[in-house]
């Protein structure tokens, strides 16, 4: 359902290309892809955690990559030699490969990842540079201050 034409905005703005690209991507989101399930939670004022259910995957079978404000989490099961002769009667545990992508806001950094009890936790922190933080500008009474200098 794409009913918005963003082309007039492209013509009249500068520096918002990434925002418009994200809006374009929202229209093409695949709602049928629900594997693996995940949670996004806020753990502090500027801290977040993404938790992905990766039961059955080891650390070696998982990969995390950050590139251009996109966090990618991949999982791929290693091929196993089934030398034992057992017949699986029912297989309900999914062990298929996956890739989940998350768009990160500006100044959001990945701080670490941990795997425990089949859950992959990725910790994120938003650190705003000092130059972009709000600051107070003192107001003076308008009198000019003269800096004394020594004559050469």
| Residues 2-42 pLDDT 10s | 566 666 666 656 566 666 666 666 655 555 578 889 999 99
- According to DSSP, residue 15 is labeled S
pTM here? Answer: 0.66
Q: Give the CATH number of the domain where residue 101 resides.
A: 2.60.40.790
Q: What are the residues whose beta carbons fall under 8 Å from the beta carbon of 36, sequence distance 6 or more?
A: 52, 53, 54, 75, 94, 98, 100
Indicate whether 93 pLDDT > 60: yes
Residue 137 to residue 63: CA distance in whole angstroms: 46
Q: How many domains does the chain have?
A: 2
The per-residue pLDDT for 140 is 84
How much is the average pLDDT of 51-74? 92
Record the tokens describing residue 84, joined without a space. 């034992």
pLDDT band at 125 (very low <50, low <70, confident <90, very high): very high
What is the domain range of residue 104? Answer: 34-79+90-129
> Quick one: average pLDDT of 42-52?
91
Residues 95 and 61 in one domain: yes
- Tell me, yes or no, whether 3 lies in a domain: yes
């Amino acid at each position: 359902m794409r009913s918005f034409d963003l082309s007039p905005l492209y013509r009249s703005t500068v520096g918002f290309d990434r925002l418009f690209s994200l809006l374009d991507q929202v229209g093409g989101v695949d709602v049928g892809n629900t594997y693996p399930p995940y949670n996004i939670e806020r753990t502090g004022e500027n801290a977040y955690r993404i938790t992905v259910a990766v039961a059955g995957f080891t650390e070696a079978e998982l990969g995390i990559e950050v590139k251009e404000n996109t966090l990618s989490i991949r999982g791929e099961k290693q091929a196993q030699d089934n030398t034992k002769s057992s017949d699986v009667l029912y297989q309900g545990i999914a062990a298929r490969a996956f890739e989940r992508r998350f768009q990160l806001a500006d100044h959001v950094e990945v701080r670490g990842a941990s795997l425990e009890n089949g859950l992959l936790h990725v910790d994120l922190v938003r650190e705003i540079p000092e130059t972009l933080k709000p600051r107070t500008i003192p107001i003076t009474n308008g009198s000019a201050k003269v800096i004394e200098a020594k004559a050469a």
